[in-house]
Chains A and B, each alone.
Chain A
Amino acid sequence: MSAFSAIGEEEEIESEDFTPGTEPQPTWCPGCGDFGVLKALKQAMPEVGRSPEETLLVTGIGCSGKLSSYFESYGYHSIHGRSLPVARAAKLANPELEVIAAGGDGDGYGIGGNHFIHTARENHDMTYIVFNNEIFGLTKGQTSPTSPKGHKSKTQPHGSAKSPLRPLSLSLAAGSSYVARTAAVNPNQAKEIITEAIEHDGFAHVDFLTQCPTWNKDAKHYVPYTDVQDSDEYDFDVTDRREAGQMMYEVESKLYEGEVLTGRFYRDDPRPSYSEEKQAIGEMPDQPVAEQYFDEDHQWDRSYDELLDLHK
């Protein structure tokens, strides 16, 4: 018996395959930027050639976390802030899966921040999409780690006293090997960036600006936007850490001055993933862990005697 029959199957893949039968229509508010992520992701999947059954989407808690309800695949809607360790372990146990994690700015940069740092540091071969609406959407508009300084909310009526977290700079410092920012208002770029992120071998982090018209910003706040790769004004090498870092700092600062800069900011393609590093030192088997259980030739009792001998 092989449990993983869907993996590597040749088939035509279409965007619509990723629309679930049960909840085809998301219940996000009209005008919500989250629709943009769903659309971009559905469009990217045929490009990368992976089917719903080969894909595991792990989400956190928030309006953003509902993505797994509206995207047909193997889905695991975890708890607030914990999508990354679930997702990266699934990838370690079965590297043949396409693994994507997604959640909000509160989920990923706040409560789950430590996991974000360490998942990036370990460079797991997976994609992480952060729906950055600069607010806690689901819980009705409280200040989030990316809310601008001075931003007023019910929890900070006098305006936030904190400077916002710099997600791109943090990502770079932590060790992500692909860092990009896109926006729901820019669907073509979004689709391209999500495609690239999924195809990237390593930890790909996409900070996705998703307006929350209900509690924070409407779509107009992210228009006009500039794609730094298309603009003559910006010239930097995405494979150069220092230049990427400077660019990110500028991008993060400008967002709070009302200028929306998007694009790819960093990529380090040669960097080995965590499982490659582990394999190189003999800490990870070549055969996917999850598959061994279904491999009739797998020798379960191989060297139990040796195990015991160590105790003599």
Chain B
Amino acid sequence: MPDDLNWAIGGEAGDGIDSTGKIFAQALSRAGRHVFTSKDFASRIRGGYTAYKVRTGAEPVESVVDRLDILIALTERTIEENMDELHEGSFIIYDDERSTMRDVEIPDEMIGLPVPLKRLAEEAGGAIMRNVVALGAACEVAGFPIENLDEALEKRFGSKGQAIVENNETAARLGREYVEEEFDYDYPYELICTDEDYVLLNGDQAIGMGAIAAGCRFYAGYPITPATEVMEYLTGRIEQFGGTVVQAEDELAAINLALGGARAGARSMTATSGPGIDLMTETFGLVATSETPLVIVDVMRSGPSTGMPTKQEQGDLNMLLHGGHGEVPRFVLAPTTVAECFHKTIEAFNLAEKYQIPVYLTSDLSLAVTEQTYPPEEFDMDEVEVERGKVVDEESIADWQNENEQFQPHFPTADGVSPRAFPGTSGGAHMTTGLEHDALGRRTEDPEVRVEQVDKRDRKVDTARERENFDYREFGNPEADTLVISWGSNEGAMTEALTLLEDDGYDVRFISVPYIFPRPDLSEEIDASETTIVVECNANGPFADLIEHDTLTRVERINKYTGVRFKADELAAEVKDVLAETGEVAQ
């Protein structure tokens, strides 16, 4: 019996799709099953349609696939929208008593399960519970014991009182019993429960949690999809740890606020998406040249301009690497999974403070909306080390004063990193400026000092390369002739594509790169392979350009810019296509 199940609920915005989907995802997670969720927002046809999809397995699941086994369709359009993913034997649960659903035609090869969702919900206490009736019906089809829903229902409705919780439990059971009694199909699914105790979170939440764990206590932001949830996560939580969140008037203010918090001594962060990065680019240069540690999160969405705000894309890479006039180093990190959003956020703070540099942390829409299960140990916050770098106090400050007892915030040290004194430190009074400055932070146009300061700032990158391990994550067969490289969120789909490729006799090595700058040198890896393919979710392949530039080697490219993330089966097929074109044979 297949244990890997793809489930979805779809309808109109306002139908409670998200919260119903979330209840199911939570129930699965609580039952010790792995979960990977995704969302469909607006539409190929017209606005309004939305769906919440859950993939679940007893083993970890890392991506979405082009397959839908059980669909709760609140509207006819939900079926149309998912026609590509529905297959022979897919079950479609719908309310045939709903006026708009009466004439729905279920394609022959699929199995329609008409359930009077509204009527049963009313029986349980109110029509509003019709989605929960559907959940109960789906439990029966999925072979998922209904009791597992109870805890999630309690969590969702507990604040509304015990009676409401009980009504919902009843509603779910009525749905399940209806399917059991009315239909006589052989349901091929049985979702095994385990004793595992998982946590369920998405990329934005993981970034927020990482920030708190890293000691970030000052956050400023301006809402924008798909980054808003970072701010919403921190609000109400960071305060419990002694921090604060500020909503700014715009992104210009947001980054300047974060900068002000950092100058005053707090670990500070802002998060936005591409349009916000456009505005923040102005202040980015000031942050960098005044050598202020700052973490700037870009949860990418499809651009340019307002673009496709609820669609996936990795189109901001060049902006993050090169945005802003003049030349000044910055670090760019791109977490590759939801869990890595947590770990890389922590690393971003340490890098920012150790090297007194702005760090761009870039995730994307697909990470932001994906909820995924992990064992809680994955997020071990006691393990986190907060490294604040060369912060000086009233005693150590003397080491950094000149002969006139003036503190030198931009002293050109051998490693490029200067001392840092927060306002309020005795003996540390100093200014600094976005103008080119000397060691004292005073403006200068002296050619020698200019060169000295530019070199000093650039030297921090060399130092970081020596001291840090800007490595990649590796999967598949390290000896394989075919090398696939990707960055950011494509890792999950690609690791799963590896399995599919393996099954078909393809031998592939996969390198997933979380460090965009500084980044690992892949020359040897590319030399050792026959074919190198760079996979990224954009049209022009900026990361492939970087790799070609670094290694002076041409690479093959797989790009997707439909606004939808890669899926494992699709990616496997594309890799095969490339290999067929380049004349590489299987095995």
Contact = CB atoms under 8 A, between A and B. Distances in A.
A221 B391 CA distance: 49
B209 interface: yes
Contact of B264 (A9, A22, A57, A89): A89
B256 interface: yes
B263 interface: yes
A284 B379 CA distance: 26
Contacts of A307: 209, 212, 237, 381
Interface string B245-271: 110111011101111110111111000
Contacts of A256: none
Interface string B436-451: 0000111100000000
B30 interface: yes
Nearest to B197: A312
B243 A86 contact: no
Given A77-B432, A90-B263, A85 B253 contact: yes
A74 B261 contact: no
A298 interface: yes
Interface string A82-117: 101111111111101100000000000000001101
B382 A118 contact: no
Contacts of A270: none
A226 interface: no
A118 B254 CA distance: 12
A291 B424 CA distance: 10
Given A292-B242, A301-B381, A93 B218 contact: yes
A276 to B, nearest CB: 13
A115 B264 contact: no
A77 B431 contact: yes
B148 interface: no
Contact of A115 (B249, B406, B427): B249
B424 A92 contact: no
Interface stretch (A65-73, A145-153, A192-200): A65-73
Interface in A266-309: 278, 282-285, 287, 289-294, 298, 300-304, 306-308
B256 A4 contact: no
Contacts of A289: 217-218, 242-244, 261, 264-266
B265 to A, nearest CB: 3
A1 B393 contact: yes
B394 interface: yes
Interface in B255-290: 256-261, 263-268, 282-283, 286, 290
Interface stretch (A48-56, A180-188, A237-245): A48-56
A312 B29 contact: yes
20 contacts: A1-B393, A4-B265, A6-B426, A74-B431, A86-B257, A88-B257, A88-B260, A89-B260, A89-B268, A90-B260, A96-B424, A114-B252, A115-B253, A282-B239, A285-B239, A289-B244, A294-B393, A300-B215, A308-B376, A311-B200
B94 to A, nearest CB: 32
Given A86-B256, A93-B218, A93-B264, A73 B429 contact: yes
Interface of B: 29-30, 197-201, 205, 209, 212-213, 215, 217-218, 220, 235, 237, 239-246, 248-250, 252-254, 256-261, 263-268, 282-283, 286, 290, 376, 379, 381-382, 386, 388, 391-394, 404, 406, 421-435, 440-443
A150 to B, nearest CB: 32
B423 A82 contact: no
B272 to A, nearest CB: 15
Contacts of A92: 218, 244, 246, 260-261
A83 B430 CA distance: 17
A2 interface: yes
Contacts of A21: 404, 406
B261 A302 contact: no
A3 B433 contact: no
The 7 A-B residue pairs with the shortest CB-CB distance in the complex, in nearest-first order? A89-B260, A75-B431, A290-B265, A77-B433, A85-B256, A74-B423, A4-B424
Nearest to A287: B242
Nearest to B442: A22
Interface string A1-36: 111111101000000000001110000000000000
Interface residues of A, number: 69
A217 B379 CA distance: 63
Contacts of A161: none
A5 B393 contact: yes
Contacts of A118: 248-249, 253
A236 interface: no
Contacts of B212: 307
Contact of A85 (B241, B242, B245, B260): B260
Interface of A: 1-7, 9, 21-23, 52-58, 68-69, 72-79, 82, 84-94, 96-97, 114-115, 117-118, 278, 282-285, 287, 289-294, 298, 300-304, 306-308, 311-312
B295 to A, nearest CB: 15
A9 B427 CA distance: 12
A68 B260 contact: no
A4 B422 contact: yes
A226 B498 CA distance: 81
B22 to A, nearest CB: 12
Nearest to B440: A22
Contacts of B433: 68-69, 76-77
Given A56-B264, A93-B264, A79 B432 contact: no
Given A76-B263, A284-B239, A114 B404 contact: no
A82 B252 contact: yes
Contact of B199 (A23, A90, A311): A311
A230 to B, nearest CB: 37
Contacts of B246: 89, 92
A287 B242 CA distance: 7
A76 B235 CA distance: 28
Contact of A94 (B209, B237, B386, B424): B424
B431 A76 contact: yes
Contacts of A23: 442
B171 to A, nearest CB: 23
Given A93-B261, A290-B265, 7 more contacts: A78-B256, A84-B256, A93-B218, A114-B249, A293-B266, A302-B241, A307-B209
Nearest to A21: B404
B57 to A, nearest CB: 19
B498 to A, nearest CB: 28
A20 B488 CA distance: 48
Contacts of B376: 308, 312
Contacts of B259: 85-86, 89
Contact of B422 (A86, A91, A290): A290
Nearest to A72: B429
A198 to B, nearest CB: 16
Nearest to A23: B442
A114 B218 contact: no
Given A79-B434, A82-B283, A4 B217 contact: no
Nearest to A285: B242
A89 B564 CA distance: 38
Given A21-B404, A21-B406, A118-B253, A311 B201 contact: yes
Contacts of A56: 263-264, 423
A7 B393 CA distance: 13
Nearest to A93: B264
A285 B406 contact: no
B268 to A, nearest CB: 8
A114 to B, nearest CB: 6
A89 to B, nearest CB: 3
A92 to B, nearest CB: 7
Contacts of B244: 92, 278, 283-285, 289
Contacts of A117: 249
Nearest to B378: A308
Nearest to B286: A79
B404 A90 contact: no
B265 A94 contact: yes
B240 A303 contact: yes
